[in-house]
Chain A
Amino acid sequence: MKRGNKGYLFILPYFLAFLVFQLYPIIYTVILSFQRPITLIDMEFAGLENYRRLLTTPIFFRAIGNTWYIWMVNFVPQIVISVFLAVVLSEGRFRGREVLRTLYFLPNLVTAASIGVLFAVLMDWRFGTLNQVLLQLGVLAEPINWLQMPRVAQGTVSLIQWWQWFGYTTIIFMAGLSAISEDLYEAAYIDGAGRFQVFHLITLPLLRPTMLYVLVTSLIGGLQIFDIPRVLTNGRGAPDNALTTMVLYLYNQAFHFFNVGYAATVALFLFFMILVFSVILYVLLNRDPESARMARAARRRMRT
């Protein structure tokens, strides 16, 4: 046997596991989306019934809207602050830089379920620390039941997401910045460019690939948000369904109401939505606008 072909043996276990535990369940989910339950166990073919139901259920659209809203409100401030922090922390070496980076990163890997419960109790209307602080400072005359207000509840989830992820994103942008040649900055400063010009004409265009990575991974993760809305609302998505996200809706349909076929349809819709938007982002960010061309021109001039 040729040595190269022995490689198949090394990758075989992975692909067996992949086929059984990842691909098969996905294919089966597709099949389920065309079925309806007759008893608890048996299913029958239902054609496009689940798809029709999906497109005529207002709460499903509500869930899509909530998920996007929560993601956007977290992501926009996150990316602005992270790019800013990455630039500041990459410039020069000041003391405590490593410590700051670690502290910003700290919330990222902590169990989301625990974080959700923690914020729920911190924001509790009678016992919560937030109301206690506001009462003692005299900002509030009486406690407010924050998490019963739909917009505040959504904002809280966004805030938690922001809090958990801005440090991570900063680290990724710092890595992206370190890949930009320092000669480029020097040349720009020698040519008399100001701090903001350099940022606008060099840093930002050259951060594009990193930006794409951050956007796509954040979108994939953000549209699948489940843990925090679930623990904040004990699984109900309350108040007024404001925290019913797509995956929470999917989970409740599949494992509370046992609408397995319908829930499978929701899963597929989620997948295609993520796929379509990832492709759109990829195309948009890979285009070649003015500033990127100028950065390349600057680089060319450096070489000669």
Chain B
Amino acid sequence: MMIQPRNPVSSIVLRVFLVGLAIICVMPFYMMIINATRSNVEISRGVWLTPGDQLLRNYEIIQSKVNIWRGFYSSSIIAIPSVVLSAFFSALTAYGFAKFRFRGREALFWVVLATMMIPQQLGLIGYYDLVLRLGLLDRYIPLIIPMIANPGMVFFVRAYIQSSIPDSLIEAAIIDGSGEFRTFITIIFPLAMPAVATMSIFTFIHKWNDLITPLVLLNSADKFPMPVVISTIRGLYETNFGAIYLGITISVIPILIVVVTFSRALIRGLTIGAIKG
């Protein structure tokens, strides 16, 4: 892009502003980690910018009341099968919309698009009632199965299949005697993998972060996933701030690692949805 030259003073001011914003983004996480290694007394006396030596002590305080890894386990038990279901069925649906011509295709795809706009909470009360009647309250199943219908992922994977898998490839497979479903499993699914993988990271994170659904559908403390555990942590440890910070740190670090590792793919995934949507 052609730009006019900027004067050096405003250029420096701009850099300071940009870096300042970046520091604001990171600072709360940094303070969180530092305070997780400090004792309560230290935290109440001042501000620390370097790590202390109370990490293990704080960890013992946490484990004395709640097994925090239990929350981790519950979150994984919910999020991993959700991602698998969502990936498989979204690709299946996306392929159906992308490469088959049937009556009502446009209208049905509009239904998928419309569900993207519907607030999640709208059906929550009705869903609670359904789960209650089916006797599935306090089970993980009702948190997982609905992920078969994940409109955002269908939308994204459909666009990918349309633009990057040629019809000739499918025709060739069928001429070779491959059945439709086998063609999907052996050819389409692997080829759609880049799009499926990107959206799976998003699905995983959103499922991992979800607070309200498990809050409504689960009631035994030992089944609570991480966000529910963390939301009770302040009441549990009262003024043990070192322990509270460590609890938050344990819940946040995996997500931070995932975001930093996959940031390029995630950012690309975001922007495709925005431009086409």
B78 located at the interface, meaning its Cβ lies under 8 Å from any Cβ of chain A in the complex = no
Chain A proximity of B93: nearest CB distance (Å): 4
Is A105's CB under 8 angstroms from B46's CB? no
Please name all residues of chain B whose beta carbon is closer than 8 Å to the beta carbon of A23 when the two chains form the complex. Answer: 123
Among B26, B92, B128, B226, contact of A103 (Cβ-Cβ < 8 Å): B26
Residue on B nearest A214 in the bound complex, by CB: B274
Please name all residues of chain B whose beta carbon is closer than 8 Å to the beta carbon of A10 when the two chains form the complex. Answer: 92-93, 95-96, 100, 184
Is B148's CB under 8 angstroms from A14's CB? yes
Among A104, A113, A231, contact of B209 (Cβ-Cβ < 8 Å): A113
A264→B184 CA distance, assembly (Å): 41
Please name all residues of chain B whose beta carbon is closer than 8 Å to the beta carbon of A136 when the two chains form the complex. Answer: 46-47
B113 located at the interface, meaning its Cβ lies under 8 Å from any Cβ of chain A in the complex = no
A44 located at the interface, meaning its Cβ lies under 8 Å from any Cβ of chain B in the complex = no
A53-61, A123-131, A283-291, A293-301 - the one binding chain B: A123-131
Please name all residues of chain B whose beta carbon is closer than 8 Å to the beta carbon of A132 when the two chains form the complex. Answer: 46-47
A71 located at the interface, meaning its Cβ lies under 8 Å from any Cβ of chain B in the complex = no
Among B97, B258, B270, contact of A168 (Cβ-Cβ < 8 Å): B270
A15 located at the interface, meaning its Cβ lies under 8 Å from any Cβ of chain B in the complex = yes
A280→B15 CA distance, assembly (Å): 38
Is A175's CB under 8 angstroms from B149's CB? no
Interface bin, chain A: 35 or more
Among B18, B28, B40, contact of A122 (Cβ-Cβ < 8 Å): B28
Among A7, A18, A247, A260, contact of B97 (Cβ-Cβ < 8 Å): A7
Q: Chain A interface secondary structure, helix, strand, loop or mixed?
A: helix
B199 located at the interface, meaning its Cβ lies under 8 Å from any Cβ of chain A in the complex = no
A271→B227 CA distance, assembly (Å): 25
Residue on A nearest B19 in the bound complex, by CB: A100
Please name all residues of chain A whose beta carbon is closer than 8 Å to the beta carbon of B239 when the two chains form the complex. Answer: 126-127
Chain B proximity of A205: nearest CB distance (Å): 17
A69 located at the interface, meaning its Cβ lies under 8 Å from any Cβ of chain B in the complex = no
Please name all residues of chain B whose beta carbon is closer than 8 Å to the beta carbon of A15 when the two chains form the complex. Answer: 108, 149
A3→B212 CA distance, assembly (Å): 43
B260 located at the interface, meaning its Cβ lies under 8 Å from any Cβ of chain A in the complex = yes
Is B130's CB under 8 angstroms from A118's CB? no
A126→B2 CA distance, assembly (Å): 53
Please name all residues of chain B whose beta carbon is closer than 8 Å to the beta carbon of A113 when the two chains form the complex. Answer: 209, 211, 227-228, 230-231
Q: Given A7-B101, A26-B126, A110-B252, are A117 and B47 also a contact pair (CB < 8 Å)? A: no
Is A117's CB under 8 angstroms from B231's CB? yes
Is A14's CB under 8 angstroms from B2's CB? no
A8→B105 CA distance, assembly (Å): 9
B234 located at the interface, meaning its Cβ lies under 8 Å from any Cβ of chain A in the complex = yes
A189→B5 CA distance, assembly (Å): 12
A1→B113 CA distance, assembly (Å): 28
Is A271's CB under 8 angstroms from B122's CB? yes
Among B21, B102, B121, B263, contact of A102 (Cβ-Cβ < 8 Å): B263
B245 located at the interface, meaning its Cβ lies under 8 Å from any Cβ of chain A in the complex = yes
A224 located at the interface, meaning its Cβ lies under 8 Å from any Cβ of chain B in the complex = yes
Is B275's CB under 8 angstroms from A182's CB? no
Q: Given A100-B22, A176-B275, are A25 and B123 also a contact pair (CB < 8 Å)? A: yes
Q: Given A21-B127, A117-B244, are A13 and B148 also a contact pair (CB < 8 Å)? A: yes
Known: A16-B148, A117-B231. 6 other contacts (CB 8 A): A7-B99, A99-B22, A106-B25, A126-B239, A210-B274, A234-B234
Question: 21 A-B Cβ contacts within 8 A?
Answer: A7-B105, A8-B96, A17-B149, A21-B148, A25-B125, A26-B122, A90-B1, A99-B22, A105-B267, A106-B256, A110-B256, A112-B211, A113-B228, A127-B44, A127-B239, A136-B46, A168-B270, A172-B274, A230-B231, A234-B234, A267-B122
Closest 6 A/B residue pairs (Cβ): A7-B100, A10-B96, A25-B126, A25-B123, A28-B126, A175-B271
Residues of A participating in the B interface, judged by any CB pair closer than 8 Å = 3-11, 13-18, 20-29, 32, 81, 85, 88, 90-92, 99-122, 124, 126-127, 129, 132-133, 136, 163, 167-168, 171-172, 174-176, 179, 182, 185-186, 189, 194-195, 210, 213, 220, 223-224, 226-227, 230-231, 234, 247, 250-251, 254-255, 260, 263-264, 267-268, 270-271, 274, 278
Residues of B participating in the A interface, judged by any CB pair closer than 8 Å = 1-4, 14, 18-19, 21-22, 24-26, 28-29, 31-32, 35, 40, 43-44, 46-47, 89-90, 92-93, 95-97, 99-102, 105, 108, 111-112, 115, 117-130, 145-146, 148-149, 154, 174, 180, 184, 205, 208-209, 211-212, 215-216, 226-228, 230-231, 233-235, 239, 241, 244-245, 248, 251-252, 255-256, 258-260, 263, 266-267, 270-271, 274-275, 277
